[in-house]
Structure 1
Amino acid sequence: MNMNIHIIGAGSLGLLYAGKLASSGCRVTLWCRSEEQADMLKASGITIEEGTSRHKRMDSSSLTVCTLSSFAERGAAADADYLFLMLKQQGIEDLAARVLAPYGQDHRRLICYQNGTGHLERLQELLPAWTLYAAITTEGAKRTSLVSVLHAGRGTTTIGKFMPEQDSASPVSEGNDENELVKQLNRAGFEAFLSNEMDVMIYRKLLMNAVINPLTALWRIPNGELLSSPERVRLMQQLYDEGIAVYKAGGIPYGSRLWEWIVAVCQSTSGNTSSMLKDVMDSRTTEVAWINGSIVGLGRKYGIAVPTHELIVQLIEGMNT
């Protein structure tokens, strides 16, 4: 069964997933913020660059491009099996309240690809009738134009149903549709999994982002160059150690061999420009408040000092004022 997937956001990940899913036969609707990008995608399709090859990933029978301003008049994604929310943290609450909430009485399934913490709880408040999923991906992607994306490093995608705290003791079942979604992602070339332990995955990804992203933004380097000197690795380790101290104090699960995983992600996405570096270079607001800021907030909650994360937040936020 080829699913009907709607993707909100045509940034690097949005283009990558839309192109690969459409190429695999999945029906995809890609929702863009700008008319300019939508018009360009309709005219030329999506190009995915992998290594030295360039693959056109558009078939008019499987990929539709629309603007978010036309969400209501184009049916509000009523035909979607799943909606992928691939916008960054800033602005997603406004989008949920303004664009998605009017259709909150319908049963919809929203897969949230945001970094950081706290957004799922807020989205559930805004969309109480929707079923929310967390998605954690380590795919490396860099948008090279409004219609093209460089697949800078292969990773994994883990998806799991969001369970509000009061329901967290209940077992999470894997429905047929969820299994079919994972199969569809695998057919499209992604290494995808379902997980009943998304809290572990969320906090692993949070600390990974808190260690990698702000340092690449401050030093203006791709991910792999973080490992090029002992001084850089030492600061990575300092951020990591503070985060682990917070996790241990709060009893927050983070699995095993997290440091080794962070290093492996730097290596597998060595040429990738992190989203935070891209935001800084484009003078946009970064996600540091939701990434390192989340570590700072947890440190205050559990009485653990995290001075390096506090400094990182101030440095990054001071770059674009």
Structure 2
Amino acid sequence: MDLVVIGGGSVGMLYAARLLLSGQSVRLITRTREQAGQIRQDGITLRQLDGTERHAPIPSQPLEDGLPAADLYLLAVKQTDLDSILSALSDIPPAARVLALQNGMGHFEKITGILAPSQCLFASNTEGARRISPVFVAHTGTGLLRLGPWEEAKERDPIGSAFVELANRSGFQAVYENGMKPFAWRKLLANASINPLTALFDIPNGMLLESPHTMHLMRELFQEAAAVAQRYGEKIEEQDWQDIVKICRNTSRNISSMLQDIRRRNETEVKAINGYLVQKGREAGLPTPMHETVLRAVLLKSDMVKGKGEAAIDLFQ
């Protein structure tokens, strides 16, 4: 299988490195020419869960040089960077697949708007990773990769099935699902309950479980999000809440992508996560005051950090 990973962030680097170290040929596409040059020169250093480090010499090029032909494109960019990728994706080979790893829900409409349904696969990833530098990524927590078509389909996609086998050989826990929509909703509930609180309080995932106050806030966010999901036909149960608690426990050392963005003064995905729930709640006539509050709070914190530089960072640490 010819495999291209698009995105030089924590998730893209983690998948590219582990797949290559398992013997799979991989090419990594980065947003900047600078990062691509550094990776070509130094490769990627992967710090594993046990603290050991491995070196992955990965071929890399910037997005502006175009996308090489491949069987599968692993799309590991944030929702905030997706629009800049769409034009390049529209030129991929007709038989190729795009596997989307985004948080939130808005990417479904964008990707299916430019590609045929047969080309689109979607994933829910709970593996934890943190980018230390443009060439250094740390694996911070085990998780589960689910992937498949968005809507229910009786036949398994051959490229998607082959990637599940490849991912499992590379040390991931991956499963193929005949329809990803229910799992995307549940991943949205997890992201919306965990990420904004870690970003606001500047804590790793596991610390949310250490205080009754953060547990209470997380539970309220979950309940509001569950009400929205149920209005749109999803059956949300108590086990879904327990699964979110389990994610926090399994990725206890992980710094959420939203908190990483705050620390780096990058735009966060809060609009695509909590903002999406606020929008869908309004359309359904459901109030979502908790999600609207954390949405505004994360946007404010992001603006303060970007606007005041080091002084703002000191304020939140």
TM-score by length of 1: 0.90
Give, in angstroms, the shift of residue 269 of structure 1: 0.6
- Looking at structure 1, the residues matched to 6 and 118 of structure 2 have their Cα atoms a distance apart, in angstroms, of 16
Counterpart of 2:148 (choices 160, 169, 194) is 160
1:150 corresponding residue in structure 2: 138
Corresponding position: 1:230 with 2:221: no
2:166 corresponding residue in structure 1: 184
1:69 corresponding residue in structure 2: 64
The answer to whether the Cα contact below 8 Å between 1:200 and 1:254 also exists between their aligned partners in 2 is: no
Corresponding position: 1:209 with 2:156: no
Task: Give the total of aligned pairs.
Answer: 303
Corresponding position: 1:24 with 2:25: no
2:89 corresponding residue in structure 1: 100
Give, in angstroms, the shift of residue 91 of structure 1: 2.5
2:271 corresponding residue in structure 1: 289
1:46 corresponding residue in structure 2: 44
- Looking at structure 1, the residues matched to 214 and 117 of structure 2 have their Cα atoms a distance apart, in angstroms, of 46
- Looking at structure 2, the residues matched to 250 and 135 of structure 1 have their Cα atoms a distance apart, in angstroms, of 20
Distance 1:255 1:19, change over 3 A: farther
- Looking at structure 2, the residues matched to 216 and 105 of structure 1 have their Cα atoms a distance apart, in angstroms, of 40
Give, in angstroms, the shift of residue 285 of structure 1: 1.0
Greater mean alpha carbon deviation, residues 122-131 or residues 144-153: 122-131
1:193 corresponding residue in structure 2: 175
More helix by share: 2
Instruction: Give the letter aligned to residue 74 of structure 2.
Output: F
Give, in angstroms, the shift of residue 300 of structure 1: 1.1
- Looking at structure 1, the residues matched to 50 and 117 of structure 2 have their Cα atoms a distance apart, in angstroms, of 45
Give, in angstroms, the shift of residue 127 of structure 1: 2.7
Q: Which runs of 4+ in 1 moved over 6 A?
A: none
The answer to whether the Cα contact below 8 Å between 1:104 and 1:128 also exists between their aligned partners in 2 is: no
- Looking at structure 2, the residues matched to 38 and 130 of structure 1 have their Cα atoms a distance apart, in angstroms, of 30
1:107-155 per-residue CA deviation (whole Å, 9 max, x = no partner) reads: 3210000011121122111234761111111000001111111100011
| Aligned partner of residue 141 in structure 1, secondary structure | strand
- Looking at structure 2, the residues matched to 39 and 245 of structure 1 have their Cα atoms a distance apart, in angstroms, of 47
Instruction: Give the letter aligned to residue 107 of structure 1.
Output: A
2:313 corresponding residue in structure 1: none
1:197-225 per-residue CA deviation (whole Å, 9 max, x = no partner) reads: 31110000000000000000000000000
1:240-261 per-residue CA deviation (whole Å, 9 max, x = no partner) reads: 1111122223322446611110
- Looking at structure 2, the residues matched to 195 and 57 of structure 1 have their Cα atoms a distance apart, in angstroms, of 32
Q: Which runs of 5+ in 1 are unaligned?
A: none
Corresponding position: 1:84 with 2:74: yes
Counterpart of 2:111 (choices 123, 142, 156) is 123
The answer to whether the Cα contact below 8 Å between 2:150 and 2:179 also exists between their aligned partners in 1 is: no
- Looking at structure 1, the residues matched to 92 and 37 of structure 2 have their Cα atoms a distance apart, in angstroms, of 29
The answer to whether the Cα contact below 8 Å between 1:160 and 1:194 also exists between their aligned partners in 2 is: yes
Instruction: Give the letter aligned to residue 4 of structure 2.
Output: H
Give, in angstroms, the shift of residue 43 of structure 1: 1.7
The answer to whether the Cα contact below 8 Å between 1:204 and 1:255 also exists between their aligned partners in 2 is: no
- Looking at structure 2, the residues matched to 255 and 107 of structure 1 have their Cα atoms a distance apart, in angstroms, of 38
Instruction: Give the letter aligned to residue 286 of structure 1.
Output: T
Once superposed, what is the RMSD of the aligned Cα atoms?
1.7
Counterpart of 1:259 (choices 241, 263, 273) is 241
Instruction: Give the letter aligned to residue 86 of structure 1.
Output: A
Distance 1:57 1:161, change over 3 A: farther
Distance 1:300 1:138, change over 3 A: same
The answer to whether the Cα contact below 8 Å between 1:134 and 1:159 also exists between their aligned partners in 2 is: yes
| Aligned partner of residue 124 in structure 2, secondary structure | strand
2:309 corresponding residue in structure 1: none
| Aligned partner of residue 172 in structure 1, secondary structure | coil
Instruction: Give the letter aligned to residue 93 of structure 1.
Output: D
The answer to whether the Cα contact below 8 Å between 2:97 and 2:159 also exists between their aligned partners in 1 is: no
1:146-168 per-residue CA deviation (whole Å, 9 max, x = no partner) reads: 111110001110001134xxxx5
- Looking at structure 1, the residues matched to 51 and 290 of structure 2 have their Cα atoms a distance apart, in angstroms, of 41
- Looking at structure 2, the residues matched to 318 and 232 of structure 1 have their Cα atoms a distance apart, in angstroms, of 20
